[in-house]
Amino acid sequence: MLKDVGAKYVILGHSENRQLGESDQLINKKIQSSIKSKLKVIFCVGETLKQRKNNKTNKILLKQIKIGLKNIRKRKNIMIAYEPVWAIGSGLTPKNSELLETVGFIKSKIKGCKVLYGGSVNSNNIKDLKKIYNVDGFLIGGASQISKKFVDIIKKTVN
Tens of pLDDT, residue by residue over 81-110, are 999 998 887 877 899 999 999 999 999 999
Q: Please give the model's pTM, rounded to 2 decimal places.
A: 0.93
DSSP state of 41: E
- pLDDT score at 118: 92
Whether 22 is catalytic is no
Catalytic member of 16, 83, 98, 101: 83
- Domain annotation for the chain: domains and CATH numbers: 9-158 (3.20.20.70)
CB 109 within 8 A of CB 139: no
pLDDT beneath 50, residues of the chain: none
Catalytic member of 14, 16, 22, 47: 14
The pairing of strands 78-82 and 137-138 is: unpaired
Q: In 34-143, which ranges are E strands?
A: 40-45, 78-82, 114-117, 137-138
Whether 83 is catalytic is yes
